[in-house]
Structure 1
């Protein structure tokens, strides 16, 4: 029963100050509809406040503080959202991240030459190269995996990189 009466007291407090809270939030957020949303969210947070705690010495001040913080949070969020293009027209004007058909063909040929070069690498060199460049493994991890020294792992990767680079530069 204590919890019910405390919740009803909170509701009465909220309802008696609701209009003033909306008036308080409106100039901060710049719109009455947004202020209504802020005050509603404030009520939800105020109502969720634990009933096990010591009663708030100034519940009205606490409610105003919640409204103020939520209003400023909303403004920050809206400012951040407005920094990024949101409309389709603005997005259409941005350059595409996809390569042009010419670049795609060029890179496709280059990728094929790289794959051919890698098939001609000795097995251990290819494994070390793939582990390091594609899987991001350290030379120490490669050495442990292949049962070789760290310096040999480094040398295998360097040799594979040199070989592939030479194959790509040959025309």
Structure 2
């Protein structure tokens, strides 16, 4: 047995016959509970259907002694197949995206000039910040200090550092928009 007794399945007193409808009504709710714990809600009914399709397609040469064990082993295999199919689908989508993704333009003299101009404008915007806002900004962005560490170094509160950073970022954004 797969250790699936308990809340997953309530076995009827006697094994249902080979009629699929009887198996669906007897074991369908247990399989749904099993799949709900392992797959998305949207996939549960499809997975249960796959289990019963496999059961219907199977040719039994002898009666099944442990119906519950057989069904849940089949359910496990259906779930593994679904995971594998999803992985293949995701890999194919990634490959398709990579093949169709636009390649970046090679560095042209024009792109280099635009980049240098934007860099110059950002540096100029930082330099033109008020002294305390510039100090807080530089400590945070270039020295990677936390707001608390900046507050201790500058002798101010953490809230004051937040306000200085906010002002600095707004001012830099405004300067960058004006320069466009």
Scaled by the length of structure 1, the TM-score of the pair is 0.42
Which structure dedicates a bigger proportion of its chain to helix?
1
